[in-house]
Structure 1
Amino acid sequence: MNQTPFITVEGPIGIGKTTLSKAISEHFQFALLREIVDENPFLGKFYEDIDEWSFQTEMFFLCNRYKQLEDIETKFLSKQQPVVADYHIFKNLIFAQRTLKNNQYNKYLNIFNILTEDMPIPNMVIYLHASLDTILERIQKRGREIEKNISPLYLEQLSLDYHSFMETFQQKHPQIPVLQFNGDELDFVKNEKDLQTILQMIQDQLFKGAASKS
């Protein structure tokens, strides 16, 4: 890699991003950046009425994620401290494009581009995906009250949006490795062997990047 490791873990709601990010942080002794979710005052209303509350919800997330990325640049990356985050700010566009009206999305996109033009870019992305049944099972198991009204159709569409976005991302950024893991095949929460498999693949990629840099 050409810079201090900055790994982001991405995927649909309930896929296990935070759990895996914490495991990576502990294993490699990386700083951990966690997404602000429960603090969003609009999120519960959003799941009840997406059309009415989508713009407020997405703007809250954008402003908070911008501030978080600004902080990790000054507090960690600028001091060569590796970081793992349980989200990539590009997810804002995935959600916004799905939920905002055209005129709202165009305004949102202008603001997004301004805020992110000089933000740190991850040099490794981990993409978690799974079937709708697996995602629903994991959401139900973690039992967040705020997520009880999520529509399965919305989750299914979101998963398709992620697949499409990741394909485009890899085409636009071939220099950034994307490690993909299928949650139907690997359960890194229940199965320690699965977790070690993922950690080893990350380590191999980090080593490969360090070797190419030297």
Structure 2
Amino acid sequence: MNYRLITIEGNIGAGKTTLSTLLAKQLDARLVLEEFSDNPFLPKFYADPDRYGFPLELFFMAERFKQLNALLEPDMFHQVTVSDYLFIKCLLFAKVTLAEQEYQLYKRLFDIIHQQLIYPDILIYLQAPVAKLQSNIHKRNRSYEQQIPDEYLNSIQQSYLSYIQQRSGITLMVDASNANFLEDPRHLQVILEALEKDYTQGIHRLSLP
């Protein structure tokens, strides 16, 4: 395995946590999952985004930094780490969520701390249409997510895609329109086989059967 830190990313409901968990099991890897359920502002944000956007994003940034900063410590039991988020998602979501002045303050804080973190050897981005995202969100049935508007998901999607177009590093762009990593083992196998290959810097596209 040439990739010691593998990060899975995608929009809300894309399947990041499912794929990360399955990959970590297959690769005997350390697993880092975003602890979004601990954010006390999340249900409040979906009910009143203008009021709770800034504390929501600030809480997320602090928790993400704490988790990813721990990766600087060596793990004697695992050679590979799989994470289900990038730290840059702090800025990508904040750009959509916050008013301009709040975003500029938030970005100043982000710029101070992000340089202390390590970045993934490879990024796997799960790209799915909004209809698929909404279907997955409905299936997992978190009450506070059920009213997320399509416009918000579209904005997040565009924020991710703009970032990926200009990022350095290796990105595997996976068409996750029909992804079902839990029930179709072929889909996980495509990802596992892709991780056995060497890639040049840039975007490389994968399709699932």
Same fold, TM exceeding 0.5?
A: yes
- Structure 2 match to 1:194: 187
* Gap regions ≥5 residues in structure 2: 201-209
The 2-side partners of 1:52 and 1:199 are apart by: 42
1:38 aligns to what SS in structure 2?
Answer: helix
Offset at residue 107 of structure 1 (A): 0.9
Tell me the amino acid that sits aligned with residue 16 of structure 1. G
Report the alpha carbon displacement of residue 72 of structure 1 after superposing the two structures with TM. 1.7
Higher share in strand: 2
**Structure 1: which 5+ runs fail to align?**
209-214
Alpha carbons 1:4, 1:81 under 8 Å: kept: no
In the alignment, what sits opposite 1:184?
177
Paired letter, 1:167: Q
In 1, the alpha carbon distance for the partners of 2:54 and 2:74 equals 30
Aligned residues of 2:29 and 2:78 also touching (Cα < 8 A): no
Contact kept in structure 2, 1:9 and 1:86, CA below 8 Å: yes
Deviations 1:49-69 (A, max 9, x none): 111111000000000011101
Cα deviation for residue 185 of structure 1 reads: 4.1
Name the structure 1 match of 2:166.
168
Paired AA for residue 60 in structure 1: F
For 2:50 and 2:160, locate their aligned partners in 1 and report how far apart those are by CA, in whole Å: 20
Amino acid at match of 1:65: R
Amino acid at match of 1:200: E
Q: 3-state SS of the aligned residue for 1:121?
A: coil
Give the Cα separation in 1 of the matches to 2:139 and 2:178. Answer: 18
The corresponding residue for 1:21 is: 20
Query: Which structure has the highest helix share of the two?
Result: 1
Give the alignment partner of residue 89 of structure 1, picking from 87, 90, 103. 87
Q: Secondary structure at the match of 1:116?
A: helix
- 3-state DSSP class of the match of 1:204? coil
**Aligned-pair identity (%):** 34
- Could you say if the C-alpha distance between residues 205 and 143 of structure 1 is closer, same or farther in structure 2, counting changes exceeding 3 Å? farther
Matched, 1:39 2:38: yes
Cα shift at 1:36:
1.0
- SS of 1:127 mapped into structure 2: strand
Matched, 1:158 2:156: yes
Q: CA deviation at 1:190?
A: 2.5
CA distance in 1: counterparts of 2:190 and 2:78, whole angstroms: 26
Match of 2:144 among 143, 146, 161: 146
Q: Is the 8 A contact 2:29 2:80 kept in 1?
A: yes
TM-score, normalising length: structure 1: 0.87
> Residue by residue, what CA displacement relative to the aligned partner does 1:95-143 show, whole Å, maximum 9, x if unpaired?
0011111111111111111111121111110000111110100010111
Aligned equivalents of 2:179, 2:164: Cα separation in 1: 19
Cα deviation, residue 146, structure 1: 2.3
Q: Secondary structure at the match of 1:18?
A: helix
Query: Contact 2:92/2:159 (CA < 8 Å) preserved in 1?
Result: yes
Compute the TM-score of the two structures, normalised by the length of structure 2: 0.89
- Cα distance, 1:67–1:192 mapped onto 2, change above 3 Å: same
| Equivalence for 1:57 | 56
| Contact kept? 1:4, 1:80, Cα under 8 Å | no
SS of equivalent to 1:15: coil
Find the residue that maps to 2:37 and give its secondary structure.
coil
Per-residue deviation, 1:83: 0.7
Distance change in 2, residues 1:113/1:68 (3 Å)? same
Deviation at 1:180, TM superposition (A): 1.0
C-alpha RMSD of matched pairs (Å): 2.2
